[in-house]
Structure 1
Amino acid sequence: MTSSTVASESGSNDSLKSTTTKTSEASTKKEPTKSAEKREEDGFANPFEFVLTALGLAVGLGNIWRFPTRAFNNGGSAFLIPYIICAITFGLPAIYLEFLVGQYQRASPPIVFRRIKPILEGIGWGCAFVSTNVAIYYIVIIAWVGIYIVNLFRGHINIWNNCDNAWNNVSTCIDMVAQKQCRTSNPPGWNLTGTETHRPDEFIFLNGSCVDKSLHTGVKFISAPEQYLYVNIIQRSNGLLDINHINWQVFGSITICWVLTALLIWKGMKMLGKVSYITVVLPYILVVVLFVRGVTLEGASTGLYYYFLNPDYSKIMSPRTWSEALKQLCFSLSLGHGGLMSMASYNHPKSNCLLNAFIVIAGDTMMSVIGGAAVFSTLGFLANQRNVTVPEVVESGISLAFVVYPEALSQMPLPWLWAGLFFIMLFLLGMSSEYALTEVFCTCLYDQFPKLRTKKLLVVTLWCTLLYVIGLIFSSDAGFYWFELFDEFGAGFASVLSVTIEIIVLMYIYGHRHMKTDIVEIWGEARTKFGKYFGANSPYWRFNWMFMSPIIGGVLCGLCVWRDYPYNGDGVKYPPLFDYIGWFIALIPGSMIINFAIINMMRFQKAGYPLKTVFMLQKQHKSYPRISEGFTEKQKEDAKLLPEYEPWDVNNNNKRASLSDKSVEEGKSLKDNSKASVKSVKQELQDIRKDMKSMKEQIDDMKEELTMGPMATKSTSKN
């Protein structure tokens, strides 16, 4: 080969090395992404506002209408033992991990997991869909609360305690306030003999008079507040598929609640932080006021006795008790919903997220315990008024908040005041959770498509409208059954599964050692022995994340699946379709893992990247420069195949464009050099062929001369 060929190839290799070197330098000197910069602009004004907003997501309606009855049904104060143990061993580590990852990566859940491995991006979207499932039905409870508040402001404080309204069935409606008249020795309207065989507590106030309850066997009596809720407000039909009409007052209330939610989300995290001063702080003040009022009522000590001082420790040995404690914890703290991680991404990068996690879980537990005490002290008062035991007045589910408690409040002095404080507290608790749940998906969209940040009003309007339309089924007379469907399947199983997968991926795929180094990068090494063993980088956290939390979460997932079918044992109100639709909703978040795995494989291959890059740590991950230093030679070679920037990283458009232009120019130069080299080689080959042809001709001539030579000599000698 000629010297010109060697020179051209050497030039080509130098160009290629130069391009590779520049690419490598670009990968190690990353600038903040647009999404990270926007978080600085849109983030919380101070750490306190972040904590308040996180508390608003964690503390919600479930602390008032779920926790007290679950505690009562599972051993009373004994229930606090498994609940607190679960909070320490599962809840606190999970919150800390979500805060840590969101704050360090400065990104929403889909981006966090995409940077670990694009094949895992669906885990983040699954979290977002868990929040979406809850947001769709959670707003219905707020809408019911809104109707009560409107009636209070209209002066209809006794409307839910009377049996003379148009919606009441007077043949079964019991006026619980007038019921006290039947406890007297000579009650008005008593139409029986009043002999010793008829005790006053065997009589009920029905249709304007006290009657003997034993004369109405087989009749299910319903209190006036219960008829108000289920007949007037909810207008409950006979089953899931028994849809006949639209409930216009619920429809209007849901519409108003969605408008308020959209307005709050549109203003961004800064506005949510400011609003949290009202929506989070005020409910704590109100629940303390209601607690103080409750414990001063006649009979309150009886209710508190059943709540605190009558523990059934045998319940602690039941797996169901532990399952109920952990499910209540996950629902209450919004674990696996993506909201805590998304909010943390707007927090200050150096904020103490371990302390924040302690505050959130302590605040949530405090609201549950104090709220439960306020409820049970009031239930003790109600039991005293009815002359029955506390267990006879305790109701589960929404009946506690919308039937029993309002009835008790209406029998207090200044009932409008206490009822108003109670329902305003519920409304604020509900809204603080609702706007946080709805905002999660919007944050994921902004991170995926940064240009949408300039069109927040459009995004928020479209997203809230979509959820509003999906939730219109709750405005029908069958809406209550659909509410129960979403409440049963929309959060429990999906939430536990989501947070368990999060922990496993971060510990075993990203790596617990990398997580440890990330913590050191944020706050540095522990300076004291206490900080070393009990601080942010304590061995306990990694031990818990690696072993305890995955095992606890896995067991709970199994308990969520293992239950009786059909739901509630009623095949008419809850047909098999109830379970089919429910499990479809529950599995939507999990299906996102498969869907986005396929999407990203197609996306990477379409962009020209090898399939194996979908299974690799991405260069956009904040820890990539540090982690890549420990790569093997093969890993370093594979890393050269990774994309430098995320497709939506508009902050690097100019840089990427200039880099692209340079790459194009260098590519063109390399291509031209290659073409020149090929042309030169072809020319050389042609010259060689000509030389070889010439040499061949010379050889042939020489052969001919050699052959002809002896013959010519012989001919000459003859002559």
Structure 2
Amino acid sequence: MANPDAAAANRETWTRNSGFILAAIGSAVGLGNIWRFPGVAYESGGGAFIVPYLAALLTAGIPILFLDYAIGHRYRAVAPLAFRRIRRHAEAIGWFQTGLLFVIGVYYAAVIAWAMSYFVYSFDLRWGEDTQTFFLSDYLQVGDPEISTTIVGNVALPLVIVWLVILAVLCLGVARGVEKINMVFIPLLFIGFTGLVIRAITLPGASDGLNALFSPDWSALSDLDVWIAAYSQIFFSLSIAFGIMIAYSSFQRRKANMTSSGLVVAFANSSFEILAGIGVFSALGFLAYQQQAAISELEGLTGPILSFVTFPAVISEMPGASFWGALFFGSLVVAGFTSLISLLIGVSSSLQEKFGLSRVVASAVTAGVSGIISIGLFSTTSGLIALDTVDQFANNIGVVSSAIIMTVFAVWLARDADLLRRHLNAVSTFHLGKWWVALIGVVAPVFLATMLVQKIISIISDGYEGYPQWYIGIFGWGTIALLLIGAAALTLPGWNGRDYPGFQAWPPLDTEQKKEAVR
């Protein structure tokens, strides 16, 4: 039987536990924390939203994060090989997750390119007074929903830079590339964004914005949609159930405090979301004060419009506008970049393990193919509409489906959940009881299935954003079909000897664990 320590010796590892934690935080803390959480909270009961939010964090977010950690660490592989080691025919689940990483990474890079452009524009406030016209017409040159081949240079150039940097980081590997980037970028992000928030809360009208965000509407707790919104926010925010955390935990050393690290990551992510909410709504309160309007009358409280239309308008009104604009968009670049790295390291590592490629070759293939598609599709005049459509389907249908399949597979089909629980307990100081199995096997799948069914019914009956059905069919349902076909196709080639015949997961059960297993 193969020696697990010998196999692990040939695998990249984090040099320290703090490197793993900061990388995981870097993955979790992304653009959605800044432009999604504040708006969702405001529209879902304000201060009352904290109740379903915490419930979702404790009953689904953290438990599924632990499941990702357990699979990656115990089976010492990224998603395709990790699932194959659980059950040979489950490899397709891993490739479906890897496909999601690829698809999300391809369009996520475009948003980082936008933020890079706006970082430069901050120095002369190039967006002017009509920030919406500048963003949609002058910068993105948005056209009708179509398959456009007209490249927008303002987007394409920074997008090329994004992919060149990603290529360099992937080639450097886990310890020299991913870990070092996050060791520098994550502290900078928290320091810079905290400074921005402190400035925002000192602006006139900031208190009105904070009152709008945190004043509780307790009646919202009886609305099922509010609870679904909370589970949705936690789920997407933590980067769980689509291969990222499986990959990151697979690079952990044998003696790693997995559950305690997971708690740090989860609560750091939620803390940043609350910090972002304070900063965003303080700024919105200031904008409302300047325009002599109510918060409810402002447009663009979530998504790209918040970041690239509403916030430039806020920044233009602030003393020292260029500095605060550079700080805000610089924070967006850092938050997005650390998340993009986590997406693509899973893709690159999957190619390495499946086909026996070197790290440099796998990195070049990943960044090259992703970059070509990203530039060719999302730097065109229809790039924003294509991005919006693909994002909607990849996240709300693809990722949610992945989570349901993963939890049901681990608990009910492979019946591996208790083994994974005991694995986490063997390497961690915070031990999990049988309640954890119930959460990932019952509570999380039920809420996720409710979310999925509701979203599918909504899209089928109402369409999406008024886009033509043929367009939704190609860029929406076509994305899901492509993921399914790709997952099936990538299971067909052999593993080039990387399957480690006789593989033994670590650590072996000690005497006390064996007693617990018998009980």
The counterpart of 2:344, out of the listed 390, 413, 438, is: 438
Paired position in structure 2 for 1:31:
3
Shift of 1:56: 0.7
Larger Rg: 1
Q: Secondary structure at the match of 1:49?
A: helix
CA distance in 2, matches of 1:502, 1:74: 28
Paired position in structure 2 for 1:576:
470
Q: Deviation string for 1:612-649 (max 9, x for gaps)?
A: xx9xx98424279979xxxxxxxxxxxxxxxxxxxxxx
Within-5 A mapping of 1:203-282: 224-241=130-147, 243=148, 245-270=150-175, 271-282=177-188
- Whichever residue aligns with residue 432 of structure 2, its letter is N
- Whichever residue aligns with residue 37 of structure 1, its letter is A
Paired position in structure 2 for 1:351:
256
Within-5 A mapping of 1:147-158: 147-152=117-122, 155-157=123-125
Within-5 A mapping of 1:81-92: 81-92=51-62
Distance 1:392 1:374, change over 3 A: same
Distance 1:625 1:426, change over 3 A: closer
The counterpart of 2:82, out of the listed 96, 112, 118, is: 112
> Contact conserved, 2:349 with 2:362, CA < 8 A, in 1?
no
Do structure 1's residue 461 and structure 2's residue 367 form an aligned pair?
A: no
Do structure 1's residue 405 and structure 2's residue 311 form an aligned pair?
A: yes
Shift of 1:398: 0.8
Do structure 1's residue 124 and structure 2's residue 94 form an aligned pair?
A: yes
Distance 1:80 1:587, change over 3 A: farther
Q: Secondary structure at the match of 2:138?
A: helix
Paired position in structure 2 for 1:377:
282
CA distance in 1, matches of 2:257, 2:3: 24
Within-5 A mapping of 1:473-512: 473-508=377-412, 509-512=414-417
Q: Deviation string for 1:44-94 (max 9, x for gaps)?
A: 110001000011111100001111111112222222221221111000000
> Contact conserved, 1:35 with 1:107, CA < 8 A, in 2?
no
CA distance in 1, matches of 2:149, 2:77: 45
Distance 1:85 1:427, change over 3 A: same
Shift of 1:566: 5.1
Within-5 A mapping of 1:71-82: 71-82=41-52
- Whichever residue aligns with residue 105 of structure 1, its letter is Y
Q: Secondary structure at the match of 1:563?
A: helix
CA distance in 2, matches of 1:575, 1:545: 36
Distance 1:370 1:297, change over 3 A: same
Shift of 1:515: 2.7
Q: When the two structures are superposed, what TM-score results if normalisation uses the length of structure 1?
A: 0.66
Structure 1: 5+ residue runs without aligned partners? 1-28, 163-223, 524-530, 608-613, 628-719
CA distance in 1, matches of 2:275, 2:422: 39
Paired position in structure 1 for 2:515:
none
Shift of 1:293: 0.8
Do structure 1's residue 306 and structure 2's residue 212 form an aligned pair?
A: yes
CA distance in 2, matches of 1:352, 1:263: 30
Paired position in structure 1 for 2:26:
56
The counterpart of 1:387, out of the listed 284, 292, 306, is: 292
CA distance in 2, matches of 1:149, 1:123: 39
Paired position in structure 1 for 2:229:
324
> Contact conserved, 2:425 with 2:432, CA < 8 A, in 1?
yes
Q: Secondary structure at the match of 2:204?
A: coil
CA distance in 2, matches of 1:72, 1:352: 36
- Whichever residue aligns with residue 347 of structure 1, its letter is Q
Do structure 1's residue 161 and structure 2's residue 128 form an aligned pair?
A: yes
Q: Secondary structure at the match of 1:491?
A: helix
Distance 1:482 1:566, change over 3 A: farther
> Contact conserved, 1:59 with 1:333, CA < 8 A, in 2?
yes
Q: Deviation string for 1:99-150 (max 9, x for gaps)?
A: 1221122111111111122111111111111111110111111011111112
CA distance in 2, matches of 1:254, 1:504: 38
Distance 1:569 1:251, change over 3 A: closer
> Contact conserved, 1:354 with 1:536, CA < 8 A, in 2?
yes
Q: Secondary structure at the match of 1:280?
A: helix
> Contact conserved, 2:163 with 2:367, CA < 8 A, in 1?
yes
> Contact conserved, 1:295 with 1:374, CA < 8 A, in 2?
yes
CA distance in 2, matches of 1:411, 1:625: 61
CA distance in 2, matches of 1:427, 1:577: 30
The RMSD of aligned alpha carbons is 2.5
Paired position in structure 2 for 1:666:
none
CA distance in 2, matches of 1:304, 1:522: 42
CA distance in 1, matches of 2:508, 2:272: 43
- Whichever residue aligns with residue 124 of structure 2, its letter is H
Q: Secondary structure at the match of 1:468?
A: helix
Q: Deviation string for 1:291-333 (max 9, x for gaps)?
A: 1111111111100000012x22222222222222222222211
Q: Percent identity?
A: 25
Distance 1:462 1:384, change over 3 A: same
Within-5 A mapping of 1:131-150: 131-150=101-120
Shift of 1:516: 3.9
> Contact conserved, 2:167 with 2:364, CA < 8 A, in 1?
yes
Do structure 1's residue 285 and structure 2's residue 191 form an aligned pair?
A: yes
Greater Cα offset, 46-55 or 551-560: 551-560
Paired position in structure 2 for 1:548:
443
The counterpart of 2:246, out of the listed 328, 336, 341, is: 341
CA distance in 2, matches of 1:101, 1:414: 49
Paired position in structure 1 for 2:514:
none
> Contact conserved, 1:130 with 1:336, CA < 8 A, in 2?
no
Within-5 A mapping of 1:679-718: none
Distance 1:414 1:626, change over 3 A: closer
> Contact conserved, 2:74 with 2:506, CA < 8 A, in 1?
no
The alignment covers a number of residue pairs equal to 503
Q: Secondary structure at the match of 1:149?
A: helix
CA distance in 1, matches of 2:296, 2:344: 37
Distance 1:567 1:34, change over 3 A: farther
Do structure 1's residue 93 and structure 2's residue 66 form an aligned pair?
A: no
Paired position in structure 2 for 1:557:
452
The counterpart of 1:365, out of the listed 250, 270, 273, is: 270
Distance 1:148 1:332, change over 3 A: same
CA distance in 2, matches of 1:371, 1:498: 28
> Contact conserved, 1:61 with 1:430, CA < 8 A, in 2?
yes
Q: When the two structures are superposed, what TM-score results if normalisation uses the length of structure 2?
A: 0.91
Shift of 1:469: 1.6
Within-5 A mapping of 1:182-193: none
> Contact conserved, 2:254 with 2:506, CA < 8 A, in 1?
no
> Contact conserved, 1:504 with 1:546, CA < 8 A, in 2?
yes
CA distance in 2, matches of 1:91, 1:240: 37
Q: Deviation string for 1:423-457 (max 9, x for gaps)?
A: 1000000100011101111111222233x23xx22
> Contact conserved, 2:63 with 2:440, CA < 8 A, in 1?
yes
